[in-house]
Structure 1
Amino acid sequence: MAQISNRKTVILGGSRGIGAALVRKFAGAGDRVVFTFAGSADAAAALSAETGAEAIRVDSADRRALTAAIAAQGPIDLLLVNAGTLVMGDPLESDADAIDHMIDVNVRAPYHASVEAARTMPDNGRILIIGSTNGDRMPFAGGGAYAMTKSAIQGMVRGLARDFGPRGITINAIQPGPVDTDMNPAAGPMAETMHGFMAIGRHIHASEIADYAAFLASPSAAMITGSMQTIDGGFGA
Structure 2
Amino acid sequence: MKRVFILGGTAEARELAARLHPENVVVTSLAGRVKAPRLPVGAVVIGGFGGSLGLARWLWEHPVDVVVDATHPFAAKMSEAAAEAAGMTGIPLLGLRRPGWTQEPGDDWRWVSSLEEAARSLPGTRVFLTTGRRSLPVFDGIPGVWFLARSVDPPDDPVSMEVILSRGPYTLEGELALMREHRIDTLVTKDSGGELTRAKLVAARELGVPVVMVKRPPVPAEVPYVETVAEAVAWVHAAE
TM-score by length of 1: 0.46
TM-score by length of 2: 0.46
- Greater helix share, 1 or 2? 1
- Greater strand share, 1 or 2? 2
